[in-house]
Amino acid sequence: MRPNDPRAVRSRDAILAAARELLRDHGPAAVTHQRVAELAGVGRATVYRHWARTEQLLLDAMASSDLPYFKDPPTPVRPWLFRQLRGMADELAHPEAVAVTVTLMHGAFGDAQLARQRDGSTAAIVERIGAALDLAVATGELPERPVPADAAARLIGPLVWRATMQIGVPVTDDFLDRLLDGVWLG
């Protein structure tokens, strides 16, 4: 079957839609060949033919998804930020989520499209964290506005470093609280 064969295009689209749905509703760990094939109504071999590696499928699904992290902050902001960080740390406890993160980091060094995806993902996170901090300042919860790019690096950097370099060390609630303290204290 050729790549432009209408059946190949249809199965590719169905697989990608299924991967996006699993990613949105159940997180990166749910995007396995088995579950994607079931949801897309195709055989596992078809998924493998289009995407030999799960993390590439996950990257493509992420590229065309709007990930829910740090979106639409309510007040009070801090407990919500805590829950967002908790959710991200729990996701990063799954090897699949770590694999897609390091694949994006690594691949972006030789691939302009992946580099754009990496930069877009970072820009979205920084913008959303900035909006959340603005809300916290506007409601008097936070005395002064931190630099969003710095706050994002201080909140997310330690989680990603732990997931990629400090494997197996759990992210406790206390650790997350201290990350937030660092941003809150300026």
Residue with Cβ nearer a second copy (10 or 172): 172
Q: Which two tokens stand for residue 154?
A: 């201080």
Site membership for a second copy, residue 116 (CB under 8 A): no
Cβ closer to a second copy: 5 or 111?
111
Give the whole-angstrom CA distance, residue 142 versus residue 153.
18
181 binds a second copy (CB under 8 A): yes
Query: Which span sits near a second copy by CB under 8 A: 2-10, 27-35, 75-83, 174-182?
Result: 174-182
**For residues 159 and 171, is the Cβ–Cβ distance under 8 A?**
yes
Stretch that binds a second copy, among 13-21, 58-66, 94-102, 130-138 (CB under 8 A): 94-102
Q: Does 63 contact a second copy by CB under 8 A?
A: no
Give 161's contacts (C-beta < 8 A, 6+ positions apart): none
DSSP string covering 7-41, please? HHHHHHHHHHHHHHHHHHHH-GGG--HHHHHHHHT
Burial 54-78 (b: 16+ CB within 10 A, else e): bbebbbbbbbeeebebbeebeeebb
- Shortest distance, position 54 Cβ to a second copy, whole Å: 12
Burial of 153 (0-12, 13-18, 19+ CB in 10 A): middle
**Least Å from the CB of residue 167 to a second copy:** 7
Sole binder of a second copy in the list 102, 111, 116, 173 (CB under 8 A): 102
Residue type, 125: I
Out of 98, 114, 129, 133, point to the residue binding a second copy (CB under 8 A). 98
Q: Is 182 in the site for a second copy (CB under 8 A)?
A: yes
Q: Which stretch binds a second copy (CB under 8 A): 12-20, 38-46, 105-113, 130-138?
A: 105-113
Tell me if 106 contacts a second copy by CB under 8 A: yes
Distance CA 95, CA 167 (A): 10
Tell me the site size for a second copy, rule CB under 8 A.
Answer: 37
The Cβ of residue 137 has, within 10 Å, a number of other Cβ atoms equal to 15
Is residue 32 a contact residue for a second copy (CB under 8 A)? Answer: no
